[in-house]
Amino acid sequence: MKMVSVWEFVSEQWQKLPVLATTETCAGKTYIVTGSNTGLGLEAAKHLVRVRANKVIIAVRNLKAGEAAKAEIESATNNRGVAEVWHLDLASFESVKEFAKRAIEKLDRIDGLIKNASVALDKFALAEGYESTATINILSTFLLAILLLPKMTETAKRFNIQPHLTIATSEAGFAVKEAFDSVKDNLMTKLNDPRTSDMRQRYPVTKLIQQFAGRHLATLLPVSKTGVVLNLVNPGLCRTALSRHVGFFLRLQIVIAIFLIGRTVEMGSRTLLHAVVAGEESHGCYVSACEVKEDQVPSWVKGEEGRKQGKLIWGEIARVLETVNPGCLSKVL
């Protein structure tokens, strides 16, 4: 398999990306964007409001920051009454369940769920009994997806459309095979053990796990069954505050890279907007720079070895989800 060269990466970073979410594709629809009080999520939500979505849920942990984001969106778009701020704390399984219950009961439809919220930490800490990065980036990310899938399938049938479940991942995951190999056997236990947790690489490892689990979940949930397109989007290196919680020297490296080749958050948000309107051919696939880029996925991820690994990883995640919310998987699988 052809690995992405440095020049290919840089040239892709500098590429001017198209805006593919338009009034024609988004008007009148309902979208949920997690982590949308800042960065890529904020810009994606802003654009969805601009192209006349009927409702855009700003799903955030900090309600005050969410309200500030809503005010910025309304000022920028001159379109009020569309954005709503809802509480969602991915470090709390109960918060995820409450958010999903509210969405199922209060929303008429869900046309797109952009799972943008993630965290990058370099210190080991627990949330819900699991290492915090794993809880937020993996367990709660897939818990919310599973809980909202029935509503999205209902939307697909009622309106004869294809809603989108989009998970924001990262190409950085493909560069940490060695770190992943050290934890892949008995994954959740090893991620949860400070002795086997290299927190310097924990964020990209969780992004790789999203790839494995998301690709396998897509095989279990074909569009022909659910009506929902599930894809995995790489926003690229963007000028966000994602690295704010990591140590000084790592953060310095990231800041320098962002200064040299980082996309603006608005440009990076276009990748999310593409994924949430992309065609059925993107189902179960890696999308980057507003295109399906399966050729950039390593063979050890997308080949037979990767498919077996994805099944094992999903099995571990599924066992946790079933413990957190018994019966949730039987409603969609």
Quick: pLDDT tens for 27-77: 999 999 999 999 999 999 999 999 999 999 999 999 999 999 999 999 999
Q: Give the per-residue pLDDT at 1.
A: 39
Point out the catalytic residue in the list 118, 140, 170, 243: 170
pLDDT over 70, % of the chain:
93
Task: Write down all domains in the chain, each with its CATH number in brackets.
Answer: 6-324 (3.40.50.720)
Map tokens 């276009």 to a residue: 270
Point out the catalytic residue in the list 115, 151, 207, 302: 207
Q: Give the per-residue pLDDT at 261.
A: 74
Q: If we measure between CA atoms, which residue out of 230, 211, 210 comes closest to residue 220? A: 230
Which residue spans within 135-294 are E strands per DSSP? 164-168, 229-234, 286-288, 291-292
Mean pLDDT, residues 82-87: 98
Q: Are 144 and 117 in contact (CB under 8 A)?
A: no
Asked whether residue 152 carries a pLDDT value surpassing 70, the answer given is: yes
Asked whether residue 170 carries a pLDDT value surpassing 70, the answer given is: yes
Sign of the Cα pseudo-torsion (321, 324, 326, 327, in order) = negative
Point out the catalytic residue in the list 31, 130, 203, 286: 203
Q: If we measure between CA atoms, which residue out of 39, 61, 57, 38 comes closest to residue 49? A: 57
For 171, the enclosing helix (H) or strand (E) is none
Q: Using CA atoms, how far apart are residues 157 and 120, in angstroms rounded to an integer?
A: 37
In three-state secondary structure terms, 260 is helix
Q: Using CA atoms, how far apart are residues 269 and 85, in angstroms rounded to an integer?
A: 19
- Does 130 qualify as catalytic in the annotation? no
- Does 170 qualify as catalytic in the annotation? yes
Map tokens 């109960």 to a residue: 94
Q: Where residue 136 falls among pLDDT bands split at 50, 70, 90?
A: very high
Mean pLDDT, residues 311-318: 98
Q: Which two tokens stand for residue 83?
A: 């954005």
List pLDDT tens digits, range 195-210: 888 898 999 999 999 9
List pLDDT tens digits, range 271-293: 999 999 999 999 999 999 999 99
Mean pLDDT, residues 118-132: 94
